[in-house]
Amino acid sequence: MYDELINIVQNLGSPKVLLAGDFLLDVYVYGDALRISPEAPVPVLKVVSREYRPGGAASVAADLTALGAKTLCLGTIGKDINGETLRMLLKSIGADISGLVEVTDRPTITKQRFVGLAQHIHPQQLLRVDEEKDELLNDQVYKKLLDLYEKKLPQVDIVCLQDYNKGLFEENFCKSLIKLAKSAGKKVLIDPAPKADFTKYAGASAITPNRLEASAASGINIKTIDDAAKAAAILIKKLNLDAVIITLDKEGAYLKTNSIEQHIPTVVRKVYDVTGAGDMVLAALAVTIAAGVDYKMAVEICNIAGGIEVEKFGTATVSVDEIINELISRKQKSGTKLKSIDQLTNQLKWHKGLKQKIVFTNGCFDVLHRGHIEFLSFCKKQGDIVVLALNSDKSVKVIKGTDRPINNQLDRAAVLSALETIDYIVIFDEPDPLNTIKKVRPDVLVKGQDWAEKGVVGREFIESIGGKVILAPLVEGKSSTSTIEKMKSLTKEKKK
């Protein structure tokens, strides 16, 4: 499965997405919270910096752009400095902002978060101040938005509606957006608002409510996966949808289509901040569905993207490279580190595509000892991915003699696989690793300091392709040979 998902993410392309929604500005005021005010029992925040980020539908636009999509924005902003800031942020990421209508009867919706820096490092939100008006827009603004929508619709591959319940998605307006898109053959994906009347989303392609939103809309209190299945069945029938994706935080998501009823679990992660997780799921769903991916695989990717996002502070984007890196990491953990040379070179293509530095070393590693551990730790510090070429039993006998190795090649590989400092192991038969080095084409070749005088095999080739050779310090008195000799001498003493 991981190979298929990696291939999908690598080939998402650059779909054009028409994104209608409530565009917000997120402001983060960071400061040191070192004391309590003498005026009231509240912390005093000594401001260190301010940060402005796209929020709400603008956060979805940033997420879409990070995933390679071209985003056409449709919504409203106020005629104020925050509106100008939001325009500038969206323009800087390459979003088309010609569909943002400036209104004078309301401010740009702004969420200002005051964040204390514990010990000057760890951010902790102390307070949020919202500036907004969430009444419905006037008829003239709705007409202008609808005209813009109709003009932009032929230019895009898919439509997203991000409803934050801030006054944009009046029932008839929302229904018109869905109807026009479906008539134009465009799929409509919706992240619904909390406590919204979901009937206005009827006829859309898919909705992505979270646990609480789906519970409110379906009347089912979702505590279990069975509850999610019941809620999804109610919503898909009631709203005439192609798919319902209920996000279930640490439990992943539940997917319901006409042919699929499936819980799609995720890897439990350390949640730092859930802000923007729903935005990320909508964006990931849009780019995958626009690329022709089926709903099941799309939700798998959404789970991963959302999981990466919640490990970040505040509204944050997730890149294609981050998703691929996560998939490769899971693939490695799900299988053995021991690869054939063909499997290895194919796997390394992904790492090289992510600009990761490949480190290569080789050896017999017959009886593992402290010197090996420190040497491999040194290797890991030289790059991102460590490839260890392990001498086969046949090769060890040629180098060390007929009484070696003590442990066979598969046992040695199994022990080495348990070390976090090693990412891949490949076994080679030749007395030296030159042919393997030429196939791997690493950025760095590491050998022990004792090879300084002997001459490092592969140095000339590595340097010819722009790589470098590094000699690692040795732990004095530690080697497999000395360890084996010591064991032999102890055995002799016992026999006496």
- Identify the pLDDT of residue 368: 87
What CATH number is given for 2-331 in this structure?
3.40.1190.20
Bond prior to 405 in cis (omega within 30° of 0): yes
Contacts 24+ apart (CB under 8 A), 460-465: 461/434, 461/437, 462/437, 465/441
Give the span between the Cα atoms of 138 and 141, in whole angstroms.
6
**Domain spanning 337-495: which superfamily?**
HUPs (3.40.50.620)
99 and 148 in contact (C-beta within 8 Å)?
A: yes
Which one, of 157, 150, 125, lies nearest residue 43 by Cα?
A: 125
H-helix or E-strand spanning residue 171: helix 171-183
Q: What is the mean pLDDT of each run of 10 residues along the chain (496 residues)?
A: 80 93 94 87 88 94 93 97 97 96 95 81 83 93 97 97 94 96 97 89 96 94 95 96 93 93 78 69 94 93 84 74 78 74 86 88 90 94 95 91 88 91 93 94 93 88 95 75 62 58
Amino acid letter at 223? K
User: How far apart, in Å, are the Cα atoms of 406 and each of 367, 399, 439?
Assistant: 7, 13, 29
Structure tokens at 427: 């076994």
Q: Indicate the average pLDDT of the chain.
A: 89
383 and 443 in contact (C-beta within 8 Å)?
A: yes
- Identify the pLDDT of residue 314: 63
Task: Identify the active-site residue in 26, 279, 423, 443.
Answer: 279
pLDDT in tens, 1-46: 777 887 888 888 899 999 999 999 999 998 888 888 899 988 888 8
Which one, of 265, 249, 384, lies nearest residue 325 by Cα?
A: 384
Classified as helix, coil or strand, 35 is: strand
- Identify the pLDDT of residue 145: 97
Residues paired with 362 in a beta bridge = 389
205 and 188 in contact (C-beta within 8 Å)?
A: yes
H-helix or E-strand spanning residue 214: helix 211-218
253 and 307 in contact (C-beta within 8 Å)?
A: no
Q: HSE, CB side, 13 Å, CA atoms: give it for residue 110.
A: 21
Structure tokens at 141: 């603004």
- Identify the pLDDT of residue 306: 83
- Identify the pLDDT of residue 1: 72
- Identify the pLDDT of residue 450: 83
Domain segments of the chain: what residues? 2-331, 337-495
**321 among known catalytic residues:** no
